Protein backbone atom coordinates (compact mmCIF):
# COMPACT_ATOMS: atom_id res chain seq x y z
CA UNK A 1 0.00 0.00 0.00
CA UNK A 2 1.27 3.50 -0.75
CA UNK A 3 0.23 6.75 0.92
CA UNK A 4 1.25 9.69 -1.24
CA UNK A 5 1.97 12.73 0.89
CA UNK A 6 1.20 15.85 -1.12
CA UNK A 7 3.89 17.89 0.64
CA UNK A 8 7.10 17.17 -1.28
CA UNK A 9 5.36 14.21 -2.97
CA UNK A 10 6.77 11.63 -0.56
CA UNK A 11 5.51 8.10 -1.21
CA UNK A 12 5.13 6.15 2.03
CA UNK A 13 5.22 2.40 1.38
CA UNK A 14 3.35 0.18 3.85
CA UNK A 15 3.90 -3.55 3.44
CA UNK A 16 0.80 -5.64 4.12
CA UNK A 17 2.35 -9.12 3.85
CA UNK A 18 5.52 -8.98 5.97
CA UNK A 19 5.17 -7.90 9.62
CA UNK A 20 8.87 -7.73 10.50
CA UNK A 21 11.19 -4.75 10.39
CA UNK A 22 14.61 -5.07 8.73
CA UNK A 23 17.75 -4.78 10.88
CA UNK A 24 18.18 -1.43 12.67
CA UNK A 25 21.02 -0.59 10.26
CA UNK A 26 18.41 -0.22 7.48
CA UNK A 27 16.58 3.08 7.98
CA UNK A 28 14.53 4.20 4.97
CA UNK A 29 13.33 7.75 4.59
CA UNK A 30 10.02 8.02 6.52
CA UNK A 31 10.92 4.84 8.45
CA UNK A 32 9.95 1.24 7.76
CA UNK A 33 6.20 0.57 7.86
CA UNK A 34 4.08 -2.55 7.80
CA UNK A 35 0.33 -2.81 8.21
CA UNK A 36 -2.44 -5.27 9.01
CA UNK A 37 -6.19 -5.22 9.42
CA UNK A 38 -8.00 -5.48 12.75
CA UNK A 39 -11.62 -5.66 11.67
CA UNK A 40 -12.35 -2.45 9.76
CA UNK A 41 -9.23 -0.67 11.08
CA UNK A 42 -5.95 -0.50 9.20
CA UNK A 43 -3.13 -0.73 11.76
CA UNK A 44 0.33 0.51 10.76
CA UNK A 45 3.57 0.17 12.72
CA UNK A 46 6.58 2.28 11.75
CA UNK A 47 10.12 1.93 13.12
CA UNK A 48 13.72 2.33 11.92
CA UNK A 49 13.32 6.06 11.30
CA UNK A 50 16.04 7.73 9.27
CA UNK A 51 18.13 10.00 11.53
CA UNK A 52 17.91 12.73 8.87
CA UNK A 53 14.15 12.90 9.33
CA UNK A 54 13.61 12.97 13.08
CA UNK A 55 11.82 16.35 13.02
CA UNK A 56 8.28 15.69 11.80
CA UNK A 57 6.75 18.96 10.58
CA UNK A 58 3.17 19.43 11.67
CA UNK A 59 0.50 22.04 12.09
CA UNK A 60 0.85 24.07 14.26
CA UNK A 61 3.96 22.47 15.75
CA UNK A 62 6.87 20.23 14.80
CA UNK A 63 7.20 16.87 16.56
CA UNK A 64 10.52 15.23 17.36
CA UNK A 65 10.86 11.46 17.23
CA UNK A 66 14.23 9.75 17.53
CA UNK A 67 15.54 7.22 15.04
CA UNK A 68 14.57 4.54 17.59
CA UNK A 69 10.91 5.56 17.96
CA UNK A 70 8.02 3.23 17.19
CA UNK A 71 4.81 4.82 15.91
CA UNK A 72 1.56 2.86 15.72
CA UNK A 73 -1.30 4.28 13.65
CA UNK A 74 -4.96 3.39 13.23
CA UNK A 75 -7.09 4.35 10.23
CA UNK A 76 -10.79 3.64 10.89
CA UNK A 77 -13.62 4.68 8.56
CA UNK A 78 -16.31 6.06 10.87
CA UNK A 79 -18.68 7.34 8.15
CA UNK A 80 -18.81 7.58 4.35
CA UNK A 81 -17.09 10.98 4.60
CA UNK A 82 -14.65 10.52 7.47
CA UNK A 83 -11.71 8.40 8.61
CA UNK A 84 -10.59 8.62 12.23
CA UNK A 85 -6.78 8.78 12.32
CA UNK A 86 -5.15 7.82 15.64
CA UNK A 87 -1.46 7.45 16.47
CA UNK A 88 0.70 6.41 19.40
CA UNK A 89 4.39 7.33 19.82
CA UNK A 90 6.64 5.04 21.85
CA UNK A 91 10.08 6.66 22.14
CA UNK A 92 11.51 6.00 25.64
CA UNK A 93 14.87 7.58 24.77
CA UNK A 94 13.12 10.94 24.30
CA UNK A 95 9.79 10.88 26.15
CA UNK A 96 9.07 9.67 29.67
CA UNK A 97 5.92 7.85 28.56
CA UNK A 98 4.07 6.80 25.43
CA UNK A 99 1.86 9.56 24.06
CA UNK A 100 -0.91 9.63 21.47
CA UNK A 101 -3.22 11.80 19.43
CA UNK A 102 -6.04 11.64 16.91
CA UNK A 103 -7.75 13.70 14.25
CA UNK A 104 -10.52 13.26 11.68
CA UNK A 105 -9.64 12.97 8.00
CA UNK A 106 -12.60 14.42 6.13
CA UNK A 107 -13.68 14.17 2.51
CA UNK A 108 -13.19 17.46 0.71
CA UNK A 109 -15.71 18.79 -1.77
CA UNK A 110 -14.22 20.27 -4.90
CA UNK A 111 -10.70 20.25 -6.25
CA UNK A 112 -7.60 20.15 -4.09
CA UNK A 113 -4.84 22.64 -4.79
CA UNK A 114 -1.42 21.11 -5.13
CA UNK A 115 1.11 21.76 -2.41
CA UNK A 116 3.33 24.35 -4.04
CA UNK A 117 4.65 27.80 -3.45
CA UNK A 118 1.86 30.35 -3.81
CA UNK A 119 3.64 33.57 -2.90
CA UNK A 120 2.21 35.18 -6.03
CA UNK A 121 -1.31 34.61 -4.76
CA UNK A 122 -0.87 37.41 -2.24
CA UNK A 123 -0.42 39.81 -5.13
CA UNK A 124 -3.19 38.28 -7.24
CA UNK A 125 -5.94 40.81 -6.30
CA UNK A 126 -3.71 43.71 -7.40
CA UNK A 127 -2.63 41.86 -10.55
CA UNK A 128 -6.28 41.29 -11.50
CA UNK A 129 -7.25 44.87 -10.61
CA UNK A 130 -4.46 46.14 -12.89
CA UNK A 131 -5.62 43.84 -15.70
CA UNK A 132 -9.22 45.08 -15.38
CA UNK A 133 -8.04 48.71 -15.55
CA UNK A 134 -5.95 47.91 -18.64
CA UNK A 135 -8.98 46.27 -20.25
CA UNK A 136 -11.17 49.26 -19.42
CA UNK A 137 -8.59 51.58 -20.95
CA UNK A 138 -8.61 49.49 -24.10
CA UNK A 139 -5.02 48.29 -23.72
Residue 109 confidence (pLDDT) above 70? yes
Give the model confidence (pLDDT) of 98-107 as tens digits: 999 999 999 9
pLDDT at residue number 10: 81
SS3 20: coil
Average pLDDT, the chain: 88
Least confident piece of the model among 37-41, 57-61, 72-76, 88-92: 57-61
Higher local confidence (pLDDT), 138 or 76: 76
pLDDT band at 58 (very low <50, low <70, confident <90, very high): low
β-strand 32-38 against 10-15: which pairing, if any? parallel
Residue 37, pLDDT score: 97
| 3-state secondary structure at position 126 | helix
Are 64 and 39 a contacting pair, CB within 8 Å?
no
**Hey, where are the domains in the chain?**
2-108
Percent of the chain with pLDDT over 70: 88
For 98, the 3-state DSSP assignment is: coil
**Number of CB atoms found within 10 A of residue 87's CB:** 17
- CA–CA gap between residue 51 and residue 35 (Å, rounded): 22
pLDDT tens-digit readout, 11-41: 889 999 999 999 999 999 889 999 999 999 9
> Of residues 139 and 24, which shows the higher confidence score?
24
Note whether 72 and 44 are within 8 A (CB).
Answer: yes
Amino acid sequence: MVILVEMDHDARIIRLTDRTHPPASIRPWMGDSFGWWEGDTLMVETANFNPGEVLRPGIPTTIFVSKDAKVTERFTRVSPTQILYQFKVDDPGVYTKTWQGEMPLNVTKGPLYEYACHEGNYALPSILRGARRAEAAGK
